[in-house]
Structure 1
Amino acid sequence: MIQIILFIVNIALLQSCFAETPETYLLKTNSLPSDLNFMPTLGNGHLGYTVFGDAIFMNGVYNGAGGNSKRARIPNWLNISAEVCDRFGCATGNDVDVNGTSYETDLRDGYFRVLTTYRTLGISVEQRTYPHKFYNRALVYEVVAKRLANRLSKVNSPKFLKLTHFPGNSSDAFDFVVVNNGSSSSGDYRTLRGRTKVLELEKFQPDPQEIFVLFSEPLDHTLQLQWPTWQDEFTYRVIITIDREETVARKELQDVLQLSSRKLFQKHTESWNSFWDNEFSIEIRGDAFELSQIVNAGIFYLVSSLPSIETHQKNEPFYGLSPTGLGRGNLEADYQGHNFWDTEIWMLPVVSLFGYEYAKQVLDYRSRKLEAAKYHANTTGYKGARFPWESAYTGTEVTNPCCPEVSQQEIHISPDISFALQKFFAQSHDNAWACDTAWPITREVAEFLVSRASCDDSKNECHFLDVMGPDEDHPDVNDNVYTNAVSKIALNFAEWLGKTCGNTSTELLEKWREVSDRLVILRDENLDYHPQHQGYIPNTIVKQADTILLGYPLNFDTSTTHSNDLRLYANATRESGPAMTWSMFAANYMRSLQIQEANEYFERGYKSYVRPEFKVWSETPLGFEGSANFLTGIGGFLQALIFGYGALDFGRTNDDQFLMFFGITMTPPNVDEVHISSIPYGDAKCSLTFRNRSSSIECSDRIGQGFQMVQGQKKTVLGRSFNLTRRSEDPPIQISLLR
């Protein structure tokens, strides 16, 4: 009896591991994008590449000095194509069924495949490629050829598979040498050692970076794999492992090759399924199939650039999220793989919902580069820490030489980082992390802001002069209202955190408070709106979301002034603006309960930016030049859905409470209900289900002391778990953690 039960359990486990992927997680097409730049990007936080592209990139590996630094391109030896051949030649397109080739990205299982059915040969060939999510030093290519039942074969002669790799040109970033040729007599693997050619900045990078690439097959020539006539199914795989340490790459390859193709693939899909089932997912209910696919693809592309939490060997330090992710970075259109404010303002609020460890690894990049930020402040004549507009391996300024004014004037990135630290603390309530990681950064950023401010004692005012806000069409302005507002928030948080962590002087705290209190926030009293900067003339065209960010995400001003900002800047933002701009309009309109406008801008924020085949985002609307796989746009879009329509937020109140907020919810057009699973808050796990004007919030905290709900003047202790329903006529809900 026990054996029967075990057998049934094992069958159930196998079925769950190889269950058919739901259609909302399967992106399938019979024709490729006209621009292959919009092929899907695959990654695991250590390695990444674009399908059919000529480059592999590795976390933290850059080449080039200063503004010429960019992700160091590794030739894509995994870009392999399979052909079915016999002694008469190879199959051609004439042998393929009509629509006999499908290209698929399986978001739930985390891989890309090409499936071709050869009509006249009675054969199907599946090619599958993926960076392994658990064995994350490994890149996998597999081909499975099958003889189909009840199909006539034109030729019964023996077949062979011809595998040809297309790695692209030699790398201009590495000097590669063969350290082991992988000959059969040695019983070892072909191994290349690569060293980057140019240092980013010698002070913080005294030596070139070094990587090792190991191959399960040499790949220095076309492979011809014999397929005996008696064999119905033929499987072959190629594994490449890459790491800074040869021993790590070697162990990864050895351990992977001990597994069958089935078990290796199963371990990969289990890791991806575990993320969707246990860490984060969004279910869209209603007549919104394409929106569901876009949401799932957006989450997938973000997670693909983040480190896997559970891996076979310990992860290296993470080097941050760039606007187009880990699988790109060799081109100017990819922003060379650099880190911007995009990380903290546009992507991190969503990443923090995936799990604290993901967010901490992103923020740890800033912590590790604090000394470089202090160096940058000092060399530009200021105190404290000035985080560069663009950073890469060393954490120093690497903005493209084309645009010096950007690196000189977009100082808001430093308080942006402090703001992100505050938001994460409001969600996590991790006091040890706040004092160990957040405090050193916020303290040094506050010192930079004080030294950068120009204060006029006679008027009791402080200003930031000669700056550029998020709107990069307007350089050399004074008192950009976004820069000043986020700096106020940063200075106030530094003051609070200094008191909380108990290791700074009263004099220093008072200095920060004084500058914060005196910073000018421009407001036109006649028109009741915030001019973007001194001298701004209403209806002057701007590039992107700037002043409207004072509402969401800053929660700095949600008054009628903010409503007027939305109206005015909606008519003054250029049509070719980046994707996340319209998402921020949508989130802010939704929070102002201007539903028609929210719906309009939400749809505008993705419908003109997402390529249909694999739901890859463009930075600019279709028809304009811009970046591909634009994670910044994905982050803004998901924020509009979760924090706009879902009315969720984490933040700090005027009386220094750090809370979770729920407001009035709505759903996007054609959506009946949205369910968001596994939202972390403190030590708890929560889920949110929202509909038009009602929502259900469920949280469970098995470690802490429980929750308290504040609704208007009423306070209610909720215990260690609760399930609440809120209707539109109810006061907004605030949830605090009991300590």
Structure 2
Amino acid sequence: MRGLFISFIFLINLTTLDSQSSWEVSASNINPDNYFGVTLANGVVGIVSSSEPLKVKDVVLNGSYDYYQRGRVSNILKTFNHVNMNLDIDGKRIGSGDIQNYKQVLDMKQAQLVTTFDMGSKAKIKTKMMSLRHLPYTALTIIEIQAKENISITPMSVIEAPNHLTDVRNFYAEIDRPHVLIPLLTSVGNSPSGRLKVAASNSFIFEEGHGKEPKIIHEDWDYNMHLAKFTKNLKAGETYIFSVVSSTVSSQQYEDPQNEAERLTIFAMLEGRERLLKRHIEAWDEIWKSDIEVTGDMNITRDIRFALYHLYSFARAETSYSLSPMGLSGLGYNGHVFWDTELWMYPPILMLHPDMAKSLLEYRFERLEAARQNAFSHGYKGAMFPWESSSNGSEDTPVWALTGPFQHHITGCVGWAFWKYYEVTGDKEWLKNRGWPVLQEVAAFWASRVERNGLGKFDIKNVIGANEWQENIDNNAFTNGMAKTVLRYATQAALELGINPDPDWNYVADNIPILTFPDGTTRENATYDGVTIKQADANLLAYPLNIITDPKSIKRDLDYYLPRYAKDGPAMGFAILGVLYNRLGENEKAAEIFSSSYKPNEVPPFGVISEAAGGRNPYFATGAGGMLQAVLSGFGGLEIGKTGITQLNTTLPKGWKELIIKGVGKDKKTFIVKGL
């Protein structure tokens, strides 16, 4: 099939052709022993669902790190679990063994988890939980209890401290105003080393008027847990609705986190349920103006939106927060920032939400001085960004991992991402104040990093490339290719700003070698002999670097390296191969690899993706980024270059009647690929 392309179309009233279920991911017949939850997040607070009714697994606070758990390095902070609840009905505590018809549905369009279950003949319970998009530190849970017979209910709002928080103190207070009673359940503690203070605060929102709300009882328990509860009698057929708002912050965000958490909870409580819900939905409606839909395949549309949902949930505009490989879904990879951000997750976000992408770059810019220090410490000039970065931009890779001292391509990836932002937005003021300071330091690093052994032999020795299974090698394909690319980007940035670029940059770029085997196949490094590789490396020179552009060369590299990819390697590498096969016109091969880039990695009950097939460490946001690049830049043909985002001539898999990509770039264009 050849595609018919309609580019630069503004569709004001584009009607969604798929059914509503392409916005929903459901879980029923839940097995607690094989359960991997979904994450509700707003770019700051991540809440991971649990198989237990009225419970969540983890609450993660972005930007807050301290030293605990593995590796003698910083970890992203698991904060108070402040959204858990208990519910007694007729004096019996609800647990997994007491309920029937248990179902959880993630509504991606409104970013809320809807949970329903029955407690025998007594009641039907429904909850809606969300990490409020418009209030970055606050969550909302709406609870609806429908009595099947006359019952007495005792709901409890619980705050529980994880074991690593120290000096935990619990408070309860009621602020009584003439028009409202504000119950505040608050906990404060210190991070493991005492570096940070963390606070969480909850309040009920009742539908009854002031003076008619239930009487609240506070209970302080052992094991760093306390709760606020009330009792209500319901008649058969009666439905009772109440809500809980929950806020959490640390001293990373506010000097006085206890007072601020309480202020934010008071604000949310007095906004009221309907107003909070309305503004949350409006915020997500705005985000979903950038969407991807496949007509003819509702399941693929759902899969794509599931990936988009996670990246949108983990990122946030107008911040300086970045993305970990696991996003805000837990403590995986210690919450550190790797090349996963710039090369894998960043491109889809940049295409669809440049405002979110800008935040990821701001994270790096704010840590530029630390990167300068890192370069200085290693005997280089310019800026050398750490392989693993957390709060202050110093190297946070565990010392036993050689990736920290030697995986230098991360510095190229950062520079590459900065230039791509300028290509998409054309924001010259940003280039002057943010892009150029980073690009010139990145270029200075690579000019000092090469070893000048003659024309065409400006070698980059003793590195670890994208294929991390080959350590301390010379002239790695991806490292050399990225260095050549960003040296030229720095030159272009200088010219854009009317600055005379350092002529050495292009000279160095021209003399960095890309090694090949005798038949012309790109050689991954100077000693590579065909062993199994962890993930894409040499193939990245064709996409996204566009250094290798000849179709025969691209095909030769694909045919050589695909059989050498580890079957249990990380998902994102396969997605890139899908892009390349599509651009070569091998449509069915591209579709096959696209499916294999994420489907084997899905784990129950929602199908969240793990890092590798058969893995148990979701959610792997890096894999979502790779999968979305296969859709956007493979089947969709979108490419970022000198003139912004343009479209190549590509094809669609069988069954895809139409691919609609809405809200692209700064002008929010729509691109359509029609299959014949």
**Pair in the same fold by TM > 0.5:** yes
Cα 1:612/1:689, change in 2 over 3 Å: farther
The equivalent residue for 1:303 is: 312
Deviations 1:369-418 (Å, cap 9, x if unpaired)? 10011111111221110000000000110012331x11111100001111
The equivalent residue for 2:147 is: 147
Deviations 1:57-103 (Å, cap 9, x if unpaired)? 212100018852001121312122434x115x467878755xx2211
The equivalent residue for 2:324 is: 322
The equivalent residue for 1:75 is: 80
Unaligned runs of 5+ in 2: 1-17, 51-55, 205-217, 219-224
Matches within 5 A, 1:477-516: 477-503=473-499, 509-516=502-509
Instruction: Kindly state the Cα deviation for residue 596 of structure 1 after the two structures are TM-superposed.
Output: 2.5
Matches within 5 A, 1:465-476: 465-476=461-472
2:245 maps to 1:239: yes
Q: 2:284 aligns with which of 272, 275, 283?
A: 272
2:259 maps to 1:252: no
Deviations 1:515-542 (Å, cap 9, x if unpaired)? 1111111122x3221010002123x211
The equivalent residue for 2:199 is: 212
Q: 2:576 aligns with which of 556, 560, 584?
A: 584
Instruction: Kindly state the Cα deviation for residue 552 of structure 1 after the two structures are TM-superposed.
Output: 1.1
The equivalent residue for 2:124 is: 124
- The answer to whether the Cα contact below 8 Å between 1:353 and 1:679 also exists between their aligned partners in 2 is yes
2:522 maps to 1:522: no
Matches within 5 A, 1:587-626: 587-622=579-614, 625=615
Distance 2:65 2:307 in 1: 26
Deviations 1:342-377 (Å, cap 9, x if unpaired)? 101001111112322111111100111100111111
The equivalent residue for 1:181 is: 172
Instruction: Kindly state the Cα deviation for residue 283 of structure 1 after the two structures are TM-superposed.
Output: 1.2
Cα 1:173/1:377, change in 2 over 3 Å: farther
The equivalent residue for 2:53 is: none
Name the amino acid aligned to 1:638: L
Report the 3-state secondary structure (helix = DSSP H, G, I; strand = E; otherwise coil) of the residue aligned with 1:235.
strand
- The answer to whether the Cα contact below 8 Å between 1:227 and 1:234 also exists between their aligned partners in 2 is no
Number of aligned residues: 622
Name the amino acid aligned to 2:29: S
Distance 1:93 1:139 in 2: 24
The equivalent residue for 1:555 is: 546
Deviations 1:589-633 (Å, cap 9, x if unpaired)? 1111122321221111122012353231110002xx453110000
Distance 1:416 1:449 in 2: 12
- The answer to whether the Cα contact below 8 Å between 2:587 and 2:652 also exists between their aligned partners in 1 is no
- The answer to whether the Cα contact below 8 Å between 1:541 and 1:574 also exists between their aligned partners in 2 is yes
2:673 maps to 1:690: yes
The equivalent residue for 2:637 is: 647
Name the amino acid aligned to 1:327: S
Q: 2:537 aligns with which of 527, 543, 546?
A: 546
Instruction: Kindly state the Cα deviation for residue 29 of structure 1 after the two structures are TM-superposed.
Output: 2.2
- The answer to whether the Cα contact below 8 Å between 2:329 and 2:618 also exists between their aligned partners in 1 is no
Matches within 5 A, 1:419-458: 419-457=416-454
Name the amino acid aligned to 1:553: P
Instruction: Kindly state the Cα deviation for residue 249 of structure 1 after the two structures are TM-superposed.
Output: 2.9
Report the 3-state secondary structure (helix = DSSP H, G, I; strand = E; otherwise coil) of the residue aligned with 1:75.
coil
The equivalent residue for 2:650 is: 665
- The answer to whether the Cα contact below 8 Å between 1:415 and 1:490 also exists between their aligned partners in 2 is yes
Name the amino acid aligned to 1:321: L
Name the amino acid aligned to 1:71: I
Instruction: Kindly state the Cα deviation for residue 335 of structure 1 after the two structures are TM-superposed.
Output: 0.3
- The answer to whether the Cα contact below 8 Å between 2:66 and 2:192 also exists between their aligned partners in 1 is yes
Deviations 1:295-314 (Å, cap 9, x if unpaired)? 1111111111112x5xxxxx
Distance 1:37 1:398 in 2: 30
The equivalent residue for 2:90 is: 86
The equivalent residue for 1:14 is: none
Percent of residue pairs identical = 24
Report the 3-state secondary structure (helix = DSSP H, G, I; strand = E; otherwise coil) of the residue aligned with 1:141.
strand
Cα 1:260/1:455, change in 2 over 3 Å: same
Name the amino acid aligned to 2:140: V
- The answer to whether the Cα contact below 8 Å between 2:159 and 2:187 also exists between their aligned partners in 1 is no
- The answer to whether the Cα contact below 8 Å between 2:49 and 2:58 also exists between their aligned partners in 1 is no
Cα 1:440/1:117, change in 2 over 3 Å: same
Moved more, 416-425 or 31-40: 31-40
- The answer to whether the Cα contact below 8 Å between 1:95 and 1:120 also exists between their aligned partners in 2 is no
The equivalent residue for 1:414 is: 411
Distance 1:534 1:51 in 2: 47
- The answer to whether the Cα contact below 8 Å between 1:21 and 1:106 also exists between their aligned partners in 2 is no
Cα 1:35/1:386, change in 2 over 3 Å: farther
Distance 2:236 2:457 in 1: 86
- The answer to whether the Cα contact below 8 Å between 2:610 and 2:620 also exists between their aligned partners in 1 is yes
- The answer to whether the Cα contact below 8 Å between 2:182 and 2:266 also exists between their aligned partners in 1 is no
Moved more, 190-199 or 443-452: 190-199
Instruction: Kindly state the Cα deviation for residue 257 of structure 1 after the two structures are TM-superposed.
Output: 1.1
Report the 3-state secondary structure (helix = DSSP H, G, I; strand = E; otherwise coil) of the residue aligned with 1:70.
strand
Report the 3-state secondary structure (helix = DSSP H, G, I; strand = E; otherwise coil) of the residue aligned with 1:324.
coil
Distance 2:427 2:25 in 1: 38
Report the 3-state secondary structure (helix = DSSP H, G, I; strand = E; otherwise coil) of the residue aligned with 1:60.
strand
Name the amino acid aligned to 1:238: V
Distance 1:215 1:163 in 2: 11
The equivalent residue for 1:703 is: none
- The answer to whether the Cα contact below 8 Å between 1:37 and 1:628 also exists between their aligned partners in 2 is no
Cα 1:73/1:96, change in 2 over 3 Å: closer
Matches within 5 A, 1:20-35: 22-32=20-30
Name the amino acid aligned to 2:637: A
Moved more, 45-54 or 562-571: 45-54
Distance 1:188 1:223 in 2: 11
Cα 1:687/1:32, change in 2 over 3 Å: same
Deviations 1:661-687 (Å, cap 9, x if unpaired)? 322221234211111111124xx2310
**RMSD value over aligned CA atoms?**
2.5
Distance 1:433 1:67 in 2: 37
Q: 2:302 aligns with which of 293, 300, 303?
A: 293
With CA pairs under 8 Å and 6+ residues apart, which has the higher RCO, 1 or 2? 2
Relative to the length of structure 1, the TM-score reads 0.80
